[in-house]
Chains A and B, each alone.
Chain A
């Protein structure tokens, strides 16, 4: 394939204006080495950061249908490769139009969350004992930056763990695991040893944590609960105190600034 330079001229001609030949390679061949390394490096990072996506498509299709078009639209602009996939959800929304778009949207959101959680900041957790007890119900809280919440109609996290056990090439010739269907609520966080941890949630816990994620006080959460259906209220009534103790121990709650 004859490569064309950004000016529209054949690369073979234009490169010789700027690049010298080596004893063995012509100028356009020398430039091509950098081109190859650029794509190899970035596509490899995308494969590593989106392992389920890579296995759903296979290496070749992932490179052709996801990684390369994504990187063409959102080439790296920051000094850190940690940020390489930060626009993937937007790209799927804008550019991906296959029938499995709803699934791919969920998978990219989930996998980007893993990447983000790995190196996100940890803020000082709320020390409830140090707060004025009278003002506690009005204290606006949110969640640690590394926490993400998910609601899926199938066990996508289970699917990810199962598929990661094998190399992407394995799934070309073998049937995918079938994820369990149903309402699945998850929270992705870090434990006190900074390891990524995934927990399943009750629906009520998920919804309450979602309120905190957006910024909420205990009073506001209780007010919200008043308007919920019987199932949610029953779950919350039975477990809310326990949940709060757990979320405090796990240092999930921080003051909203």
Chain B
């Protein structure tokens, strides 16, 4: 893996218009914000003006939803050009998007559709991911999905698939532990088996979020508090990342919004796990 310095930015939340008033008025002491790249890949107007105000105050990392890297049509270089132009404005230390498909020629589904876990798709996606990372000239990370279907054609598990792609492409992982939990319930696998397999040295960021339990399935709604089971998975993984020093953590909350302060309080719960890590460091340093 190429040695690129990936900073640990601390704990962040997703930047949402619902919180702009509080952020611009109070300038809260938050470590960083994650933006949805596509919201700011526009020709002009208020969105970009607000982004510039945010950039004066906080580090920002870009996270995309429309790359659809596993789609069967050619990579969209008009899209990538705008994405790269945005990175020059934000100075984002890395760019992430999802391990999914979602486009066909002439159609964009605006959804994150899971891929079949086959060797052929591994090769296909890895090649495209390498191209994207080279083009952007920034570390590129793929996020694991929450998913609701599995395919008859699957040749391997999701974690084997995800690992094979990031290693073949020499890219990074944006590990969403809520998505691992949601998928584990929807597909009937053990979440900890997923965590045990993946190469922790490639994890550069975590996502945390809430979800909705519908009984027969879990829906990844990003509109509720992080469940204890998800905190457990985060607590298992976080101390293993960045050679024990941890990586950036992001709380996603995209609907049924709380106030900014309440959202930030929820994100700050992640510090409990960092405190555990810090306690271990104290113990280890005395040995």
A residues at B contact (CB < 8 Å): 17-20, 22-25, 27, 29-31, 33-34, 37-38, 41-42, 75-82, 117-122, 145-146, 190, 193-195
- Determine if B47 and A22 form an interchain contact, defined as CB atoms under 8 angstroms apart: no
Supplied contacts A25-B217, A82-B42, 15 more A-B pairs, CB within 8 Å: A18-B151, A18-B152, A18-B153, A19-B151, A22-B217, A23-B188, A30-B148, A38-B110, A79-B108, A80-B38, A80-B42, A117-B45, A121-B43, A145-B43, A146-B45
Note all chain B residues with C-beta closer than 8 A to A77. 106-108
How close is B38's CB to chain A, nearest CB, in angstroms?
A: 6
Interface residues of B in 125-171 (CB under 8 A from A): 148-154
How close is B12's CB to chain A, nearest CB, in angstroms?
A: 24
A-B CB contacts (within 8 Å), total count: 97
Interface pairs A-B: 7 shortest CB-CB: A119-B42, A121-B43, A79-B66, A24-B216, A194-B46, A20-B150, A119-B45
Residues of B in contact with A, size category: 20 to 34
- Determine if A120 and B149 form an interchain contact, defined as CB atoms under 8 angstroms apart: no
Residue of B nearest to A195 (CB): B46
Residue of B nearest to A82 (CB): B42
Note all chain B residues with C-beta closer than 8 A to A120. 43-45
- 27 chain-A/chain-B pairs, Cβ below 8 angstroms: A18-B153, A20-B150, A20-B154, A22-B186, A22-B187, A22-B188, A23-B188, A25-B148, A25-B216, A27-B149, A34-B113, A34-B148, A37-B111, A38-B111, A41-B110, A76-B108, A76-B110, A77-B107, A79-B66, A79-B76, A79-B108, A80-B38, A118-B45, A119-B42, A119-B43, A190-B46, A194-B49
Q: In the docked arrangement, what's the CA distance between A22 and B109, Å?
A: 24
Q: In the docked arrangement, what's the CA distance between A117 and B42, Å?
A: 11
Q: In the docked arrangement, what's the CA distance between A217 and B153, Å?
A: 65
Note all chain B residues with C-beta closer than 8 A to A195. 46
| A118 and B46 contact, Cβ closer than 8 Å, known pairs A20-B150, A24-B217, A25-B216 | yes
- Out of A34, A75, A193, which one reaches B149, CB within 8 Å? A34
- Determine if A190 and B110 form an interchain contact, defined as CB atoms under 8 angstroms apart: no
B41 part of interface (Cβ distance < 8 Å): yes
Q: In the docked arrangement, what's the CA distance between A88 and B83, Å?
A: 27
Q: In the docked arrangement, what's the CA distance between A124 and B41, Å?
A: 20
B257 part of interface (Cβ distance < 8 Å): no
Note all chain A residues with C-beta closer than 8 A to B43. 119-121, 145
Q: In the docked arrangement, what's the CA distance between A51 and B108, Å?
A: 24
- Determine if A20 and B216 form an interchain contact, defined as CB atoms under 8 angstroms apart: no
B79 part of interface (Cβ distance < 8 Å): yes
- Out of A33, A38, A146, A193, which one reaches B109, CB within 8 Å? A38
Note all chain B residues with C-beta closer than 8 A to A117. 45
- Determine if B110 and A81 form an interchain contact, defined as CB atoms under 8 angstroms apart: yes
Q: In the docked arrangement, what's the CA distance between A75 and B106, Å?
A: 9
